[in-house]
Amino acid sequence: MKITEQEVRRVAELANLALTEDEIVRMTQDMDGILTHIDKLSELDTSNVEPMSQVLYDSEETATLRADIERKPLGNADALANAPVSGQGYYKVPLVIEK
């Protein structure tokens, strides 16, 4: 096995996902299958290869900067319109710090 149920529980915590017991069992099997395939990458010697994090094209360093002109941003009401709970111009969340 490439991954255990215990590790899956830990990863679910990191990812902020509340998985059920059934989901944990299924997820362990699925992740194991994919990680087993991914193991194939270790066949390749990449010690002298530069990692590619983006597709990059040649241009001047500042070529992608926009002109420094003031622009009207999205207004407060528009920005909050999709919030499940908001008030006084802010997003509202459950109490974080007790008095």
Partner 1 sequence: MNHTIDSIRGELLAKKRSAEEVAREALNFAEAENPKTNAYLTFAPERALAAAREVDRKIAANEDPGPLAGVPIAIKDVILTRGLRTTCASRMLENYIPPYDATAVIRIEQAGGVIIGKTNCDEFAMGSSNENSAFGPVRNPVALDRVPGGSSGGSAAVIAQGTAVLSLGSDTGGSIRQPASFCGVTGVTPTYGRVSRYGLTAFASSLDHIGPFSRTVRDSARLLQVMAGRDEMDSTSALAPVPDYVAALDGNIHGMKIGIPKEFFDGLASDTGDIIQAAIATLQKLGCEIREVTLPHTAYAVGCYYIICTAEASSNLARYDGVRYTRRSAAAGSLQEMYRKTRDEGFGAECKRRIMLGTYVLSAGYYDAYYLKAQKVRALVAKDYAQAFEQVDAIVGPVSPFPAFKLGEKVDDPTSMYLSDIYTVTGDLAGIPCMSVPAGRTADGLPVGLQVIANHFNETAMFRVADAFEKVSSY
Residues of the shown chain interacting with partner 1 in the complex, contacts defined by CB under 8 A: 3, 7-8, 11-12, 14-19, 23, 27, 30-31, 33-44, 46, 49-55, 57, 59, 63-64, 66, 74, 78-79, 81-85, 91, 93-96
Residue with tokens 């008030």: 87
Closest approach of partner 1 to the CB of residue 40, in Å: 5
Q: How many CA within 13 A on the CB side of residue 26? A: 5
- Amino acid 95 reads L
Quote the least distance from Cβ 58 to partner 1, whole Å. Answer: 10
